[in-house]
Amino acid sequence: MSEGPILSVEALHKYFPVRNVWKRRVGWLRAVDGVSFDVRRGEILGVVGESGCGKSTLGKTLMGIQAATSGRVVFEGHDIAGLKPHQSRKYREHLQYCYQDPGASLDPRWTIRASLHEPLVVHTTLPAAEREARVREILAAVGLPETHLDLYPHEISGGQQRRVGLARILTLKPSVVILDEPTSGLDVSVQATILNLFLDLQRAFGLTYLFISHDLSVVRLVCDRVAVMYLGRIVEIGETEQIFSAPRHPYTQSLLAAIPRIGGARVTDSFALEGEPPSPTNLPSGCRFRTRCPRASTICASEDPALTGDVAQHQAACHFPD
């Protein structure tokens, strides 16, 4: 991996208006609230957290599916956060998003061939013969036979639909792929096959992944670094083995304590995650995790901790980190 980041996110915010029955705005839902991080070229950065923490919204905001409220998204040296759709198209074709449900992202009335040709028709001027050649090449790269080109999405399995979704993305030869829960809903054996495919494609095409998942075991297996999100913010980020062997934020410790283990010791048994997270429309003062944290004290209610750390490449947003 090279040293320079291929993607830099700086103070990114994505707020959704909360309206009453008369359609008047009465507040904001802070789905992504001041997120900053870098992604190095060729790495796999995992983003984990509970449902509703903002990780999928983060991915969609980076991609431009959701317009950012404020902040910067610098992709290959270009700030694409504030650009109009027609202005950012030439950059975003190299930044692609793999949906959590690939079957829903494929038109049920189109054959696999038509779905794979579509991005090439929209983003390139390749003639039909060259488009067909690229489609066949990419389909072989994801491990599907050419006979699948004339099938419809409902005629193939969930694992095969994920392969088609990957093929559809790879036809444009992207640099960064955002994978949103790419193994959810799959059998364990199929998950292993798909994960191996991700790693093979990364090596073959020189890809960089942003890997959004709630499955910590999968994240530990494939990711180089991990960012832990809670209520729209990153509360801990670091190298994968540092995060899993010596978590510094109590929320991260709680997540790791919840991983099922058969024999052997857990990373920590001292933090049981209790209760529900506060509403993102009515956040607590100070540290957002203090209402569920056994370490919380007076300073946690008055001061919001910054993401800092005295360990190289390992930062945590906590007043009392381990």
For residue 203, being part of any structural domain is answered with yes
| 208 vs 6: CA distance, rounded Å | 8
- What's the pLDDT score for residue 320? 87
For residue 28, being part of any structural domain is answered with yes
- What's the pLDDT score for residue 261? 67
| 61 vs 155: CA distance, rounded Å | 32
Domain of 206: which CATH number?
A: 3.40.50.300
For residue 185, being part of any structural domain is answered with yes
Based on its alpha-carbon atoms, the radius of gyration of the chain, rounded to whole angstroms, reads: 21
CA 278 to chain centre: 22
- What's the pLDDT score for residue 176? 95
For residue 169, being part of any structural domain is answered with no
Q: How many domains does the chain have?
A: 1
Token pair for residue 62? 């980076």
Token pair for residue 293? 């944290």
Query: How would DSSP label each residue in 246-291?
Result: S--SHHHHHHHHTS--SSS--S-SS----SPPPPTTSPPSS-TTGG
Please check whether residue 309 is in contact with residue 316, taking contact to mean a CB–CB distance below 8 angstroms. Answer: yes
Within the chain, which residues score under 70 in pLDDT?
A: 1-3, 261-272, 310-312
Q: How confident is the model over 175-226, as pLDDT tens digits?
A: 999 999 888 877 888 888 889 999 999 999 999 999 999 889 899 999 999 9
- What's the pLDDT score for residue 1? 47
| 232 vs 53: CA distance, rounded Å | 6
For residue 103, being part of any structural domain is answered with no
Please check whether residue 80 is in contact with residue 245, taking contact to mean a CB–CB distance below 8 angstroms. Answer: no
For residue 79, being part of any structural domain is answered with yes
Please check whether residue 45 is in contact with residue 243, taking contact to mean a CB–CB distance below 8 angstroms. Answer: no
For residue 161, being part of any structural domain is answered with no
- pTM, whole model, 2 decimals? 0.90
Residue 194: which domain range? 5-94+174-316
Query: How would DSSP label each residue in 141-170?
Result: HTT--GGGGGS-GGGS-HHHHHHHHHHHHH
| 298 vs 290: CA distance, rounded Å | 10
Q: Where are the alpha helices (H) located in 100-152, listed in sequence order?
A: 102-105, 112-123, 128-141
For residue 126, being part of any structural domain is answered with no
3-class DSSP assignment, residue 25? strand
Query: How would DSSP label each residue in 59-98?
Result: HHHHHTSS--SEEEEEETTEE-TTS-HHHHHHHHTTEEEE
